[in-house]
Structure 1
Amino acid sequence: MIKYYMTPLTLEGQEQFYRAVVVSDGTFTEDEMVQEIAELNTGLPTRSISAFIKLIFEIRDKKLSSGQNVQLGDTFYKSSILGKFETEDQTPSLARVTVNLVDSRKPLRDVRFNRVKRTDTSTPIPELFFNVKTEEANSEITIGNMGRLNGTRLDFDTSDAAQGIFFVEVGTGAELKVEIVGENRPSQLMFMVPTLTAGNQYTLEIRSRAKAGADLKTGRLADNLTAIA
């Protein structure tokens, strides 16, 4: 069952039309995938299933590191390099390299729809933080490495200093803003994790405005993240 609500288009000349916005029903994690496969009477222990899934992504990363694009099922992966360079002779660092997912636009089959009432349509909804280095989700953040955040209404105006990605230290409230953002889309952000304090826990916040002059809205990831070196 896919939940959705209708909202008017804002494009000039298209104001009389509407678009359907999907309301997320949560995030299905890798651990849950392992458990569901195990429940299909495959005869495989969960440890073997988990190891096999990790092996697939290890091979994916190996091929991406060699300069190849990778297609797994309906998902297409390709590498990109973040940031700007002062000269054409400057060599990118590994920390600037990230992986982009290219949407295959495969249509779903046998789907039922449930139209729901439109509620808050401006607050960001962070759902899943993925540590690109460790491939762990919603648990650890590796200082100085790439992170990926998926959710809803995550994009923000980079020209507004109040908007962006913030890590707020649990207990003290000290905050640090992300300076390098490679991908800034409503459903996904790719960014460089700033210099946090190893061992401390942080709340990941997305702050944005629906439009210039609007109130600043803050969305928080439900799980606190532990900084690791």
Structure 2
Amino acid sequence: MENDVLNYALFENHLTSDPNDYMAVTTNAISLDQEALIELMLKRGSTLTATDIMAVLKMEREVICEQAALGNNITIPVFNLNMSIKGVFNGLDDSFDSSRHSIRFNLSPGVELRKVMDSVKTQKVRGEKAGPVIDQLVDAATGSVNDQLTSGGLATLRGSYLKYDASDPAQGIFFVANDATETRVEVISLNKPGELHFLAPALAAGTCHVEVRAILNGRKEIATGRLDAEISVVGG
């Protein structure tokens, strides 16, 4: 499950106009959910059971969310969390208006995570056939990243090689349910290599994966990129 080194390959950076600009894309990173982390904890010889660990972690999450809801800053070894308010206020007498202002969570690595960054070993590998790379799915309604999607709501995909030909029904953003049912996004307002803005289709409540299918410049075949996270559909 664990990688000894972080492999990366270089691909042309379509976000800049310089043809000599390349970007690194990691090739062997995996996603670990809560259960996977607990499994790794148990392998260290903990005297706690999986149920014990789950209960403690749940309590920690509840306290963090509770204190964040009060506007407090959180500083722990893994991460630092604080909040800011986005939006313009019209003079000293103006007040927070949810239609013009929004709360933003600001996350940064904690002291222990920063130490890990310095110890990561990298290894350059030969790049395979380039395809869409999805780093983030951001749900506009909830601000959730790589976790939830509001059915019929606005959302954003961020990554690289994401731009596609919207007139080709074989290309686009697709949501794939656990039963393999596919739903294509029909309304898109921003279609760029690094970012896609779109209106999520009407999806049934449940879990799914998101994919981008595109024919990259100079190629003839469709390449598919999938976000390495399961998305929960809400509001369906």
Range of TM-score over shorter length: 0.5 to 0.7
For 1:106, what is the secondary structure of its paired residue? Answer: helix
Quick check: 1:125–1:220 contact (8 Å CA) kept in 2?
yes
Which residue matches 2:211? Answer: 205
Structure 2 counterparts to residues 31-70 of structure 1, below 5 A: 31-70=35-74
Quick check: 2:172–2:185 contact (8 Å CA) kept in 1?
no
Kindly tell me: are residues 156 and 128 of structure 1, through their superposed partners in 2, closer, same or farther at Cα, counting changes over 3 Å?
Answer: closer
Which residue matches 1:106? Answer: 114
| Mapped partners of 1:83, 1:185: distance in 2 | 27
Quick check: 2:183–2:201 contact (8 Å CA) kept in 1?
no
| Mapped partners of 1:209, 1:69: distance in 2 | 45
Paired amino acid for 1:102:
S
The Cα shift of 1:155 comes to 7.8
Quick check: 2:163–2:193 contact (8 Å CA) kept in 1?
no
For 1:167, what is the secondary structure of its paired residue? Answer: strand
Quick check: 2:208–2:231 contact (8 Å CA) kept in 1?
yes
Which residue matches 1:29? Answer: 33
Structure 2, gaps ≥5 residues long: 89-93
Is 2:225 the partner of 1:219? yes
| Mapped partners of 2:196, 2:84: distance in 1 | 14
Quick check: 2:189–2:196 contact (8 Å CA) kept in 1?
no
Structure 2 counterparts to residues 1-229 of structure 1, below 5 A: 1-7=5-11, 15=20, 20-79=24-83, 91-92=97-98, 99-102=105-108, 106-107=114-115, 108-125=117-134, 143=151, 153=159, 156=162, 166-168=174-176, 170=179, 173-176=182-185, 195-198=202-205, 202-206=208-212, 217-221=223-227, 227=233, 229=235
The Cα shift of 1:29 comes to 2.0
1:107-157: CA deviation from partner (whole Å, max 9, x where unpaired)? 535444332111233422569999x98x9x88x8665799998xx935856
| Mapped partners of 2:105, 2:201: distance in 1 | 19
Aligned alpha-carbon RMSD (Å):
5.4
Which residue matches 2:91? Answer: none
For 2:72, what is the secondary structure of its paired residue? Answer: coil
Q: Between 163-172 and 108-117, report the one with greater CA deviation.
A: 163-172
Larger Rg: 2
Quick check: 1:144–1:194 contact (8 Å CA) kept in 2?
yes
The Cα shift of 1:34 comes to 0.6
The Cα shift of 1:197 comes to 2.2
Kindly tell me: are residues 51 and 3 of structure 1, through their superposed partners in 2, closer, same or farther at Cα, counting changes over 3 Å?
Answer: same
Paired amino acid for 2:184:
E
Kindly tell me: are residues 58 and 27 of structure 1, through their superposed partners in 2, closer, same or farther at Cα, counting changes over 3 Å?
Answer: same
| Mapped partners of 1:147, 1:30: distance in 2 | 25
The Cα shift of 1:33 comes to 0.7
| Mapped partners of 1:189, 1:73: distance in 2 | 34
For 1:117, what is the secondary structure of its paired residue? Answer: coil
- How many residue pairs get aligned? The number is 211
The Cα shift of 1:45 comes to 0.5
For 1:51, what is the secondary structure of its paired residue? Answer: helix
